[in-house]
Structure 1
Amino acid sequence: MEIKEIQMSELESKISLGESLNIIDVREDFEVQFGMIDGAEHIPMNDVPNRLDEFDQDQKYYIVCKSGGRSADVAMFLNRHDIDAVNVDGGMMEYKGGQ
């Protein structure tokens, strides 16, 4: 199954344009303590299956992790459950923080 992907720079452009976005950070607790994208929701990867009911099938979700690997797995999992999820390739390692 092919998953949709965008680069972190593309996501940052959408953020800077003020687009209303659903960003899900699937990193672990110890990783997010170093910072998250403003407005992102933290749902650790292993919690996603138990929290599927929190995802709206009428919305698009941008899934982010440290580098893009875990987020790709989560995006694929969500897509299999008819949720529109886009992997953010490069992850937080590419995040400039609006600079």
Structure 2
Amino acid sequence: MSEEVKVITPKEVENLLDEGKTISLIDVREDEEVAEGTIPGAKHIRLGTIPERLEEINKNEEHIIVCRSGRRSEHACDYLQEQGFNVRNMVGGMMKWEGDVK
């Protein structure tokens, strides 16, 4: 069984951004979902393309993974953790996000 995925709430993410912290956000939703709005600064890597785009993700940073509801991002976190990445799942996803979107 893989390690438990660490989580972070949308409010905690918003607070980090408000504090000016440099955080890595990866949005794993589909193109049409991202077109409706994404967290400013988030990198868009669709869930299905993560394996071939691993080299774009820095292993030395913590990444917060985002999707619509928190389900796909949890799968992404499981996979990335197995590959040795430090990740957190934003629980509730964009459905619970109240901060800015671009």
Is TM > 0.5 for Structure 1 vs Structure 2?
Answer: yes
Matches within 5 A, 1:34-49: 34-49=36-51
Residue 29 (structure 2) aligned to one of 8, 27, 30: 27
* Structure 1 unpaired stretches of 5+: none
Which string of whole-angstrom CA distances, capped at 9 and with x for unpartnered residues, describes residues 5-35 of structure 1?
A: 0111111111111100100000000101110
Please give the secondary structure, in 2, of the residue aligned with 1:63: strand
C-alpha displacement of 1:57: 1.3
- After TM superposition, the score normalised by the length of structure 2 is 0.93
Which string of whole-angstrom CA distances, capped at 9 and with x for unpartnered residues, describes residues 7-66 of structure 1?
A: 111111111111001000000001011100000000010010111111111111000000
- Structure 2 counterpart of 1:78: 80
- Structure 2 counterpart of 1:57: 59
C-alpha displacement of 1:93: 0.4
The ranges of structure 1 where at least 4 consecutive aligned residues each deviate by more than 6 angstroms after the TM superposition are none
- Structure 1 counterpart of 2:94: 92
Amino acid at match of 1:49: P
Residue 14 (structure 2) aligned to one of 5, 12, 15: 12
Amino acid at match of 2:98: K
- After TM superposition, the score normalised by the length of structure 1 is 0.95
C-alpha displacement of 1:88: 0.4
Amino acid at match of 1:20: T
Which string of whole-angstrom CA distances, capped at 9 and with x for unpartnered residues, describes residues 51-83 of structure 1?
A: 111111111100000010000000110000001
2:76 & 2:41 partners in 1: Cα distance?
A: 19
